[in-house]
Structure 1
Amino acid sequence: MDPYDSDSSADEDFTDTGVLLGYSADEVIEDTVSHLGGWPKWLEENVPPPGDFANCKVCNSPMNLLLELHGDLPDHFSHNERRLYLFGCPRKPCNRKPGSIRAYRAARRVNLDPSPQMEEDETSEAPAPAPAPVPQQPKADLGASLFGATSLTSSVSANANPFSSAPSASAGGNPFAMPKPAVPAVPAAQTSANALAESFADKVRISSPDSSNAPKTPFKPTPESQAPGAPWPAQSAFPAPYQNYFLDAEYETLSQPPTPTVPDNVQMEPMDEDGSGGADLKDAFESEMDKAFMKFSTRLAHNPEQVLRYEYRGTPLLSSYADQVGKLLHPEHSVGRVTTTGGGHMPRCEYCGAARVFEFQLVPHAISVLEDGREGVGLGKDDAGMEWSTIVMGVCGKDCVPETLAQTGWREEWAGVQWEEMK
């Protein structure tokens, strides 16, 4: 059982969870890229996505930007630069329909030889020492390594922030900081396939299927290999954007839950002789409660201002187990702990066939932030307002990119939307 479930024992040690929370900010803190609302900034300034990526799949009209996230993961894909985007259609007829919210990943390979020092060591006369076994990092250490945020324990170092230009961020640094500059390209003639470093996803395959059964060829052509299509629309073609908010971040902390007490004016009913009376009341009470939503809302209430939950290769927090996304990802519908790295959970990457993994989700407070002051702006009566409870983004576990150095590739990723229950 997840140690942070709302129904865990009262004496459970509630501390940092390893989930990074994003908070909206009116002013730039360190990161000028990651933001809610506003207009998108492209990974490569003059290389927008394919034009059809702008459109809602329901009405085929341009959508609003919900989120742009600077997504470099140096501990996983040291040779790639990444950027993540969520777009949503604000039009009322498209609400709650598949394709009205779309997710994209932009990535480019900027370094084919991330470990040049290794080649120098191999050419020296001294015999190379046997490589030390790579210790398996605990979940908390992995989060601190990725983001350079405040250490979860005194033994966790803060380094390699994917949202930072610095090689190692300070312990109190902002995890959503400036992206690092591109590493100078290494000429292809001076590199070798054996010099490529294995990615974290290749070394650690949690619950992933046998690689021998993985597709050997892409399921469909990549956008950069296709003939140019319609260009990205001009800004005038889009609905009025949501207000731009920058992002700050810190690790999630859960407070110790209070010990439940019985109010003085409440009388406890005696149990039947067979001991079933209290059990019947308990069962009737629980049958009227949506456990998933109670866990979801209770968890969010610990940090109510959060708009984003980030845990690469982690487990999303679901608002329902009964809808399509809940049935796909909830542990009761899969084997073991859900890591969303395989087993048929999220749809596989349509470009390379790799299993997708969870990266982040938007939570309901993001709606309050984005829609604040939007009355009378945009589409008027046709602007329905957002009605989702969470948007889960799953990304290619191999972070597939064009083979050509420094060429930006665009990939549509999986957006799992859980909608608010109809009243």
Structure 2
Amino acid sequence: MSKELSITGNDDSLIKFTNMRINAEEDEEFDDSDDDYDDEEEDEYEAPVTLGFVEKPKFEWSLLRHLFPSKAGGTPAWLDPVNLPSGKSSLCDMCGEPLRFLLQAYAPLCDKESTFHRTLYVFMCPSMACLRRDQHEQWKHQPEKGSRSVKVFRGQLPRDNQFYSSEPPKNNGSDKPLGPAAPLCNWCGTWKGDKRCGNCKRACYCSQIHQANHWKSSHKIQCRAIDLTGQASNSGSTNSSDDTPKVASNITWPEYEIINEDEPEFGGEVSDSGAYGKTSLTNNEDEGDVKSWAYFTKRVARAPEQVLRYSRFENSKPLWPMLSGQPSKADIPKCSSCGGNRSFEFQILPQLLYYFDVKNDYNSLDWGTIAVYTCEASCDSTLAYKEEFAWVQHTSQST
């Protein structure tokens, strides 16, 4: 039976995705051979995997930030609602447009106090042209200095903090956060609205691009109708602490709650219809890629609707659609905060595009998998959100 990824009911549930990590050191060493696709050997040595599935939220309040949700689409539920990523961090390095929220995974760690609450956020540019460029940029010797259209941020808080109660939420609609949040962009509802309309002083924006879009769309008329009495000097106002952001645009992807299940041991037959993405391999692909794709589709067929695979063990690794295009250890940059190693934590599958109603054509967004690597120590720093690293693999490396 499915269970929510967000906190539910008691302290035991705070472990979440990582409840298996306590015994991770007792696991056998994993053979990291890229050429070994024997099903029995893979199943014997691979670390346990938790699968994420999407479904529409049952209640309007289910995905509010003080319930620590895991979710896809819509707008992010920021863990630290005040000190958000800003500047170039929020932009696609290719086209300069603000990045769109893809998903977040609530993944607290039990090994230290500062990671009692811990959420990973993934953002990406909706342009396939930018994603193709990103794929080539990630091969640079120092990937953290490359241009990216996919960005990952890690936020974490101790149990006692200024934003939330130290007691688990009741999950009945009565829970409230402890304080206000920073104003969010009125157009996208995603990034901090640190720019304001020069006329009404009320509408907030993350960028001039979104301000211009809102003005052309509707704000030009709305702005003239606003009663400015007592509002013009109120430049420090914040969003309501318990309301979802009011988004004027329709650029966000459909919103879903992410629920999880343990990966089943057995599944269905391998499909050759391209059901696990918008593209499938051609006869021109080499034998290694064909073998890798066959194992990928067979493994995913155990639960075809999965959109996320989570496994934070010492021997965890992504399920790659292709043999080519996989990173080496040297391709994964060190943590920019502490200089320590990053390791695989979860991957996003292309099935998510189906739920986002993304069109099936050459110019629409597509990927084979997006593998997220995070600081092994989940280190602390002066920043509320530390940028982590995502590796993008397409189902055809020729794109």
TM range (shorter): 0.5 to 0.7
The answer to whether the aligner puts 1:356 opposite 2:342 as a matched pair is: yes
Q: State the secondary structure of the residue aligned to 1:294.
A: helix
Report the TM-score, using the length of structure 2 for normalisation.
Answer: 0.56
| Aligned-residue offset at 1:83 | 1.7
| Aligned-residue offset at 1:17 | 6.0
The letter of the residue matching 1:70 is Y
Match of 2:101 in 1: 65
The letter of the residue matching 1:42 is W
Identity of aligned residues (%): 26
| Aligned-residue offset at 1:308 | 0.4
Q: Is the 8 A contact 2:267 2:302 kept in 1?
A: no
Match of 1:303 in 2: 303
Inter-partner Cα distance in structure 2 for 1:249 and 1:38: 19
Q: Is the 8 A contact 1:37 1:241 kept in 2?
A: yes
Q: Is the 8 A contact 1:16 1:254 kept in 2?
A: no
- Structure 2: runs of 5 or more not aligned: 1-30, 135-147, 162-166, 179-191, 196-204, 214-248, 270-284
Q: Deviations over 1:94-147 (max 9, x none)?
A: 1312211111112234569xxxxxxxxxxxxxxxxxxxxxxxxxxxxxxxxxxx
Q: State the secondary structure of the residue aligned to 1:292.
A: helix
Check 1:92–1:252 CA distance in 2 against 1; reply closer, same or farther (3 A cut): closer
- Larger relative contact order (Cα-Cα within 8 Å, sequence gap ≥ 6): 1
Match of 2:4 in 1: none
Check 1:399–1:364 CA distance in 2 against 1; reply closer, same or farther (3 A cut): same
Q: State the secondary structure of the residue aligned to 2:307.
A: strand
The letter of the residue matching 1:95 is L
Structure 1 residue corresponding to 2:333, chosen from 318, 323, 347: 347
Match of 2:312 in 1: 312
Match of 2:9 in 1: none
Match of 1:371 in 2: 357
Check 1:402–1:14 CA distance in 2 against 1; reply closer, same or farther (3 A cut): closer
The letter of the residue matching 1:304 is P
Inter-partner Cα distance in structure 1 for 2:354 and 2:120: 21
| Aligned-residue offset at 1:402 | 3.0
Q: State the secondary structure of the residue aligned to 2:356.
A: helix
Q: Is the 8 A contact 2:92 2:99 kept in 1?
A: yes
| Aligned-residue offset at 1:177 | 12
Q: Is the 8 A contact 2:73 2:101 kept in 1?
A: yes
Check 1:299–1:85 CA distance in 2 against 1; reply closer, same or farther (3 A cut): same
| Aligned-residue offset at 1:398 | 1.5
Q: Deviations over 1:333-375 (max 9, x none)?
A: xxxxxxxxxxx46211012101011111101111111225x79
The letter of the residue matching 1:359 is E
Structure 2 residue corresponding to 1:414, chosen from 389, 393, 397: 389
The answer to whether the aligner puts 1:8 opposite 2:39 as a matched pair is: yes
Report the TM-score, using the length of structure 1 for normalisation.
Answer: 0.53
| Aligned-residue offset at 1:56 | 0.4
The letter of the residue matching 2:51 is L
- Structure 1: runs of 5 or more not aligned: 113-163, 168-175, 184-227, 259-284, 330-343, 376-380
> Matched residue pairs, number?
263
Structure 2 residue corresponding to 1:391, chosen from 370, 388, 391: 370
Match of 1:332 in 2: none
| Aligned-residue offset at 1:303 | 0.7
The answer to whether the aligner puts 1:103 opposite 2:103 as a matched pair is: no
Structure-to-structure mapping, 1:262-277, within 5 angstroms = none
Bigger Rg, which one: 1
Check 1:302–1:353 CA distance in 2 against 1; reply closer, same or farther (3 A cut): same
Structure 1 residue corresponding to 2:120, chosen from 76, 84, 100: 84
Structure 1 residue corresponding to 2:54, chosen from 24, 30, 33: 24
The answer to whether the aligner puts 1:247 opposite 2:233 as a matched pair is: no
Match of 1:130 in 2: none
RMSD: 4.2
